[in-house]
């Protein structure tokens, strides 16, 4: 186990098994996951006063995500998350257990339906076309995150929530601060902790106003549908609506940026796989699933023992925290053939690979998966078709310090018009 260098560690020097601070690890964390997996299926890390256990193998991660003995840490005041963070955009039903989770997810699902998502296709297509037009007009070297991967999901989530174009950059700033704030508190600088709180308050104030406007004058957007949703007399309260907007922002934006970025990066590093995709663009859904397995935007998911239980033959007491290291589970050689290979056809055959955990599993399975898939597929199809000479201009590209979200700071590429 290599201990984390603390040179750029903002908080206490807590050793984190999967290497938070080493820039080399940031570029490729998978060898360290492999070492963890090989050493022990469960790795105990001291997390302030509260120890946590990292779960590294596939079948144990599946157990933790699907069995009712495991759930979310609803109270969440421990070394991982300080109390005021619950006033920091990190509430919502993602953090809840049944029955509260069941009720809220049910209500939201009535407005955020497959039909609503499918209806976005023409808008996503025209946005992608215009972003690629602009990128091609610049030609030469560009940052693909800035040119395509970021503006697409940002604009779509803004339009869904009814945020006008002139407020988009403000919204982006809040998203940055709240997404950074998902990482454990002890990894954040005092400035990052403070920004999480102020951005959350500004976000709440903005959306309180927007929700009031939609209540008075409903429009065609998702926010109006969420305000109006009813189920046998039940509805979303004002607070629940605010929490939901923050959840959609944090869960749905930076993740999609990185799904697009990680997929393009994997293809450009594996020209034989890119050639397969160019020859058969219908491999795109398989490429997306393979990216979610091979280099997932969400690297791990937290869980809490809701009662005494066990994993991998080891006992866990009620209240213990685990880190489900899904990005490691998906490279488990006991489950995935040749796991470190990016295989564009892995999910295309008649006997596809075991399911990945890139969108989670069980009752918290990602509600936005169809939207993320749609945006990524439309963007990637257009990019592959219109930029036949696309090439990496920097390898490895720079990463941001985030631990939970695998976040490309930029993806410099070359292309010609």
Pick out residues in 140-169 that bind ligand HEM (CB under 6 A).
157
For the chain, state the CA radius of gyration.
21
Question: Which of 142, 251, 276, 408 lies at the binding interface for ligand HEM (CB under 6 A)?
Answer: 251
Shortest CB 218 distance to ligand HEM, Å:
20
Burial class of residue 14 in the structure, from the number of CB atoms within 10 Å of its CB (0-12 exposed, 13-18 middle, 19+ buried): middle
Q: Which range of residues in 33-41, 52-60, 183-191, 249-257 is near ligand HEM by CB under 6 A?
A: 249-257
Nearer to ligand HEM, 9 or 291 (CB): 291
The neighbouring-strand residues paired with 52 are: 45, 321
Nearer to ligand HEM (CB atom), residue 102 or residue 138: 102
The sign one gets for the Cα dihedral 361, 359, 20, 35 is: positive
Among 184, 359, 383, 408, binds ligand HEM (CB under 6 A): 359
Asked if 110 contacts 222 with a C-beta cutoff of 8 angstroms, the reply is: no
Quick check: 178 binds ligand HEM (CB under 6 A)?
no
CB of 279 to ligand HEM, least distance (A): 25
Choose among 377, 409, 392: nearest CA to 270.
Answer: 392
**245 is an interface residue for ligand HEM by CB under 6 A:** no
Using the contact rule CB under 6 A, the part of the chain among 54-62, 228-236, 294-302, 378-386 near ligand HEM is 294-302
Tell me if 408 contacts ligand HEM by CB under 6 A: no
What tokens were used for 55?
């779960």
In angstroms, give the least distance from the CB of 354 to ligand HEM. Answer: 16
Q: Compare residues 4 and 397 and give the one whose CB is closer to ligand HEM.
A: 397
Say if CB 32 and CB 25 are below 8 A apart: yes
Residues contacting residue 146 through CB under 8 Å, at least 6 positions apart: 410
Q: What is the smallest separation between the CB atom of 94 and ligand HEM, expressed in angstroms?
A: 4
Stretch that binds ligand HEM, among 14-22, 80-88, 225-233, 247-255 (CB under 6 A): 247-255
With beta carbons less than 8 A apart as the criterion, state whether 64 and 324 touch: yes
CB 265 within 8 A of CB 253: no
284 binding ligand HEM? (CB under 6 A)? no
CB of 140 to ligand HEM, least distance (A): 29
Which of 25, 37, 81, 105 contacts ligand HEM by CB under 6 A?
A: 105
- At 337 the three-state DSSP class reads coil
**What is the Cα–Cα distance from 241 to 223, expressed in whole angstroms?**
9
Residue 58 binds to ligand HEM (criterion: CB under 6 A): no
Q: Which tokens hold the place of 300?
A: 């791990």
- Piece of the chain touching ligand HEM by CB under 6 A; list 120-128, 142-150, 339-347, 361-369: 361-369
* Sign of the CA dihedral running 267, 269, 270, 271: positive
Separation of alpha carbons 321 and 14, rounded Å: 16
Q: Does 263 bind ligand HEM (CB under 6 A)?
A: no
Contacts of 287 by beta carbon, 8 Å cutoff, 6+ apart: 263, 267, 273, 277, 344, 380
Residue 366 lies near ligand HEM (rule: CB under 6 A): yes
Rounded-to-integer distance, Cα 198 and Cα 185, Å:
16
Q: Which of 53, 256, 309, 407 binds ligand HEM (CB under 6 A)?
A: 256
Sites of contact with ligand HEM (CB under 6 A): 93-94, 105, 157, 247-248, 251-252, 255-256, 259, 297-298, 301, 358-360, 364, 366-368, 371-372
């Amino acid at each position: 186990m290599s201990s984390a260098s603390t040179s750029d560690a903002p908080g206490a020097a807590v050793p984190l098994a999967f290497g938070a601070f080493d820039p080399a690890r940031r570029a490729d964390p998978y060898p360290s996951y492999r070492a963890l997996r090989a050493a022990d299926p469960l790795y105990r890390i001291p997390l302030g006063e509260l120890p946590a256990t990292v779960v590294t193998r596939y079948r144990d991660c599946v157990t933790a995500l699907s069995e009712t003995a495991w759930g979310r840490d609803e109270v969440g005041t421990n070394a991982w998350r300080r109390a005021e963070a619950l006033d920091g955009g990190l509430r919502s039903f993602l953090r809840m257990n049944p029955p509260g989770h069941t009720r809220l997810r049910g209500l939201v699902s009535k407005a955020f339906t497959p039909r609503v998502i499918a209806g976005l296709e023409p808008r996503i297509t025209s946005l992608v076309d215009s972003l690629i037009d602009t990128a091609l007009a610049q030609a030469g070297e560009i940052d693909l995150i800035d040119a395509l991967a970021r503006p697409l999901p940002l604009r779509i989530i803004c339009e869904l929530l009814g945020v006008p174009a002139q407020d988009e950059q403000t919204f982006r700033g809040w998203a940055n601060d709240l997404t950074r704030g998902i990482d454990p508190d002890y990894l954040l600088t005092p400035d990052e902790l403070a920004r999480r709180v102020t951005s959350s308050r500004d976000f709440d104030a903005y959306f309180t106003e927007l929700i009031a406007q939609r209540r008075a004058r409903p429009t065609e957007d998702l926010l109006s549908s969420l305000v109006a949703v009813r189920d046998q007399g039940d509805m979303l309260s004002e607070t629940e609506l605010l929490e939901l907007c923050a959840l959609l922002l944090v869960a749905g934006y930076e993740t999609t940026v990185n799904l697009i970025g990680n997929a393009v990066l994997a293809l450009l590093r594996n020209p034989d796989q890119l050639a397969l995709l160019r020859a058969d663009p219908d491999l795109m859904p398989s490429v997306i699933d393979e990216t979610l397995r091979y280099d997932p935007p969400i690297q791990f998911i937290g869980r809490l023992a809701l009662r005494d239980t066990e994993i991998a033959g080891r006992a866990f007491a009620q209240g213990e925290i685990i880190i489900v290291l899904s990005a490691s589970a998906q490279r488990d050689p006991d489950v995935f053939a040749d796991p470190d290979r990016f295989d564009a056809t892995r999910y295309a055959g008649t006997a596809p690979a075991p399911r990945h955990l890139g969108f989670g599993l069980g009752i918290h399975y990602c509600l936005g998966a169809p939207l993320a898939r749609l945006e990524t597929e439309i963007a990637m199809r257009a990019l592959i078709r219109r930029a036949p000479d696309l090439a990496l201009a920097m390898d490895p590209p720079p990463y941001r310090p985030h631990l939970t979200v695998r976040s490309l700071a930029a993806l410099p590429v070359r292309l010609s018009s």
